[in-house]
A = this chain, B = another copy of it.
Amino acid sequence: MSVVEQARRARDAAEALATATRTVKDAALHAMADALVARTPEVLAANAADLAAGREAGLSAAVLDRLALDEGRVAAIADALRQMAALPDPVGEVVRGSTLPNGLELRQVRVPFGVVGIVYEGRPNVTVDAAGICLKSGNAALLRGSSSAAHSNAALVAVLRDAVSGAGLPADAVQLLDSSTRDSVKELMRARGLVDVLIPRGGASLIRAVVEESTVPVIETGVGNCHVYVDAAADLGKALAITLNAKTQRLSTCNTAESLLVHRDVADEFLPAVLAAFADAGVTVHGTPAVAAHSDAVVPATEEDFGTEYLSADISVAVVDSLDAAVAHIRRYGTGHTEAIVTDSQRTAREFVARVDAAAVMVNASTRFTDGGEFGFGAEIGISTQKLHARGPMGLPELTSTKYVVTGDGHLR
């Protein structure tokens, strides 16, 4: 089936989803969870086929691990669906409302987008998560996953579709697109009018390609060249702990710190401590000469280093002369994801927050907190690094639009 035909079916399904009550949608989410658990063997058989093909293709152990499912992982994926059922329904929320001077009653009400396309390179759990979040927010999902997970995704979507349709909603609320060719992504990007929004999740090159080529509105996610700025007025003990946590708690996430800026007034005291800690943690430091002066282990930093989202045990480090210089550096190299300051100066914190242009600004906290789960959203479809529509972690409300409902009694202009 062509992507356009799948998108048409999604539009029809979306019409039914838009008016489905929370009760029906939550029942479908529970049915999806139950079906995943009940049909775990068939999911695992499909996953085994992907793993075998992946081994054949020489995928790394880390990639194979991300691809792998087992009974416990399937149960966890199912639990995530049950947790979504417990979240409030964003659809129908009255965002603003008033009675106009002429007596017209104005209400701005949350409604689903309609059809949401998601292009991702992630693990099979993204397939189920995305389907669940879309269904809860009343949207039909067009899922274009990785070809390396093709069998797993097909099995998962087959289970989900049966459950959705068993719960009285259209099976086409959840559809998987062909992952064997790039053509399906291209068709999806051109399906303006049928697809309401496209969310690419994955590497920078995928996201850039979608942004360049899509006529469907896009929400850009995830590239994070995040900085920690240790101010002259920082508590250096906290600064050390935050820097290490931000860099090393997990290396490959978009909210991991990739660059450290240290105010010159505290550089002599702070750098030896943080460089030693990085050495202990196995992190390679790419530093300017002022940084390298403190340790032979520092690799000289190039211009490119400061613009790089390593996603590995590497960090770029520079000494800055002032808050102005820190803000200018972040403005130049940052990707607008998460920027942190460590300072005990209320005035400096206030200025950093006001001047740094990013989805999230942390004061005396690790960059790793930029996350839908940490923010208490309950479910997350990605982290937007653009300014249009949604910025930062996107939960259920971010998958909705609004509609003005205006009620009168024969009102004329």
Contacts and interface: CB of A to CB of B under 8 A. Distances in A.
Interface of A: 15, 18-19, 98, 100-101, 104, 106, 108, 111, 113-114, 192, 196-197, 211-212, 215, 217-219, 235, 237-238, 241-242, 245, 249, 331, 349, 353-355, 357-366, 368-370, 374-376, 386-389, 391-393, 401-413
26 contacts: A18-B354, A18-B355, A19-B355, A106-B376, A113-B387, A114-B387, A192-B211, A197-B388, A211-B215, A219-B388, A237-B410, A241-B410, A353-B405, A361-B406, A363-B405, A364-B408, A364-B409, A365-B406, A365-B407, A365-B408, A365-B410, A365-B411, A365-B412, A370-B404, A387-B401, A388-B389
A366 B411 contact: yes
Q: Rank and list the top 7 A-B pairs by shortest CB-CB distance, nearest first.
A: A365-B408, A238-B410, A387-B401, A389-B389, A365-B411, A245-B412, A360-B404
Contacts of A353: 405
Nearest to A363: B407
Contacts of A407: 349, 362-365
A413 B363 contact: no
A396 to B, nearest CB: 13
A17 to B, nearest CB: 12
A257 to B, nearest CB: 12
B100 A354 contact: no
A154 to B, nearest CB: 30
A187 to B, nearest CB: 16
A358 B412 contact: no
A92 B305 CA distance: 34
A359 B235 contact: no
A404 B375 contact: yes
Contacts of A357: 15, 18, 111, 114, 403
Interface of A is mostly: mixed
A210 B209 CA distance: 18
**Copies of this chain per assembly:** 2
A408 B357 CA distance: 19
Nearest to A340: B406
B375 A410 contact: no
Q: Which of A215, A357, A362, A364 has the most CB of B within 10 A?
A: A357
Contacts of A245: 412-413
A219 B18 CA distance: 23
A81 B360 CA distance: 33
Contact of A359 (B349, B403, B409, B413): B403
Contacts of A358: 403
Given A242-B411, A360-B406, A393-B404, 13 more contacts: A15-B355, A19-B355, A106-B375, A106-B376, A237-B410, A357-B403, A363-B405, A365-B406, A368-B412, A369-B411, A369-B413, A375-B404, A388-B388
B100 A375 contact: yes
Contacts of A108: 392
Contacts of A241: 410, 412
B212 A215 contact: yes
Contacts of A389: 388-389
Contacts of A403: 357-361, 391-392
A101 B106 CA distance: 36
B388 A217 contact: yes
A369 B104 contact: yes
A353 to B, nearest CB: 5
Nearest to A389: B389
A134 B104 CA distance: 29
Contacts of A374: 100, 413
A366 B197 contact: no
